[in-house]
């Protein structure tokens, strides 16, 4: 006889958030709504804490604080790997779209916060010609 185990609870909902993803939030320190990076999630997959890539503040994230309002950024110039970027500069990447430089990792590498998450790009590359 087949005994049925308790129904497997299938979570239809995909995890909505992933650590490292971008979320819009008002930063108290920067006094502006800007892209933050998810630092930790609750057991239920809700955002617990976020960090501001600009000032480094680790803050709690309240649902409803970010209403998904789209903030208008300066479009920024197209991403140019031969250019030297500084933190805070904006760019438009041909694949990832609009991004903002959050940190210089190495002399030739930068972290850029795009619409979905941070990506590491190269910069200050010598022009090939």
Residues lying near Zn ion in the complex (CB under 5 A): 27, 29-30, 52, 54-55
By beta-carbon proximity to Zn ion, the closer residue of 73 and 122 is 73
**Pair type for strands 47-51 and 32-41:** antiparallel
Give the nearer residue to Zn ion in terms of CB position, either 27 or 113: 27
Residue 4 beta carbon to Zn ion: minimum distance, rounded to whole angstroms: 52
Q: Which is nearer to Zn ion, 56 or 75 (CB)?
A: 56
CB of 68 to Zn ion, least distance (A): 19
Q: Nearest approach, Cβ of 62 to Zn ion (angstroms)?
A: 16
Q: Please, which residue, 31 or 72, has the CB nearer to Zn ion? A: 31
How buried is residue 60: exposed, middle or buried, by Cβ count under 10 Å (0-12/13-18/19+)? exposed
What tokens were used for 35?
């892209």
For the CB of residue 52, give the shortest distance to Zn ion in the complex, in Å: 3
In Å, what is the CA distance from 61 to each residue of 4, 26, 45, 107, 117? 41, 10, 12, 33, 17
| Alpha-carbon torsion, ordered 87, 90, 94, 98, to 10 deg | 110
């Amino acid at each position: 006889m087949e005994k049925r185990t308790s129904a497997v609870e299938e979570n239809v909902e995909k995890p909505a958030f992933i650590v490292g993803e971008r979320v819009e939030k008002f930063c108290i320190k920067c006094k502006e709504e800007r892209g933050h990076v998810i630092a930790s999630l609750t057991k239920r997959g809700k955002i617990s804490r976020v960090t501001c890539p600009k000032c480094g503040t680790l803050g709690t994230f309240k649902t409803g604080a970010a209403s998904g309002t789209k903030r208008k950024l300066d479009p920024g110039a197209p991403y140019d790997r031969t250019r030297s970027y500084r933190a805070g500069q904006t760019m438009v990447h041909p694949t990832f779209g609009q991004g903002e430089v959050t940190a210089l990792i190495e002399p030739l590498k930068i972290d850029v916060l795009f619409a979905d998450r941070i990506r590491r790009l190269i910069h200050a590359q010598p022009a090939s010609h």
